[in-house]
């Protein structure tokens, strides 16, 4: 059984997690594409550190060629993410745009996307498919604004999750008291 003191600590931790998520979500939404590039650089740094650890482990234990190859791939990918995050951001947004176009075309052809059958009105399905194609084309020719919109949506979801977490802490506090 959890003591009242432990529950209060849990409540405070949950509130702090929610507050942190709210702040990060707002920062992501405000920074837009810059937030994506910061995230890509951070992932690149993590990959470089991971590669160095693999190299050190391979040198001391002798992983063989496989460990060195994976370390080399992580190092290469990490350096690419660090050195050209704007290019990687554009590539990711282009892939998103192409994905929207492909799913829209498949929907127009009546081929279910992701193996899910069509549901609802044919008019609605066609309208959604056309909207996806148009959105994909617009996104393909405007990658920077697409990244901004995507990051605003992601930031809003992260901020909303933070608010829900903080509300959960508030509710938990009421149960404890």
Whether 120 and 127 have beta carbons less than 8 Å apart is answered as: no
119, two tokens:
């549901």
Instruction: Tell me which residue range forms the domain holding 68.
Output: 4-176
Which helix (H) or strand (E) segment is 126 a member of?
Answer: helix 122-140
Q: What is the pLDDT of residues 132-160, one digit of tens each?
A: 999 999 999 999 999 999 999 999 999 99
CA–CA distance, 115 with 77 (Å, rounded to integer) = 32
CA–CA distance, 133 with 105 (Å, rounded to integer) = 7
Domain count, the chain: 1
pLDDT band at 113 (very low <50, low <70, confident <90, very high): low
Q: What is the pLDDT of residues 61-100, one digit of tens each?
A: 766 667 788 889 999 999 999 999 999 999 999 999 999 9
Q: Which residue has the higher pLDDT, 21 or 126?
A: 21
pLDDT at 27: 96
Q: What is the pLDDT of residues 15-49, one digit of tens each?
A: 999 999 999 999 999 999 999 999 999 999 999 99
């Amino acid at each position: 059984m959890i003591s009242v003191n432990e529950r209060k600590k849990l409540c405070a931790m949950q509130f702090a997690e929610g507050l942190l998520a709210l702040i990060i979500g707002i920062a992501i939404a405000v920074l837009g594409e810059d937030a994506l590039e910061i995230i890509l650089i951070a992932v690149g740094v993590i990959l470089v550190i991971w590669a160095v650890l693999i190299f050190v482990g391979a040198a001391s234990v002798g992983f063989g060629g496989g460990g060195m190859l994976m370390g080399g791939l992580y190092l290469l990918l990490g350096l690419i993410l660090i050195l050209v995050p704007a290019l990687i951001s554009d590539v990711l947004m282009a892939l998103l745009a192409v994905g929207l176009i492909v799913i829209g075309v498949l929907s127009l052809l009546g081929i279910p996307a992701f193996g899910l059958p069509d549901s609802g009105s044919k008019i609605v399905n066609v309208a959604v498919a056309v909207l996806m194609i148009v959105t994909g084309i617009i996104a393909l020719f405007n990658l920077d604004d697409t990244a901004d919109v995507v990051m605003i949506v992601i930031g809003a979801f992260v901020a909303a999750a933070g608010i829900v977490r903080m509300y959960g802490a508030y509710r938990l506090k009421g149960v404890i008291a």
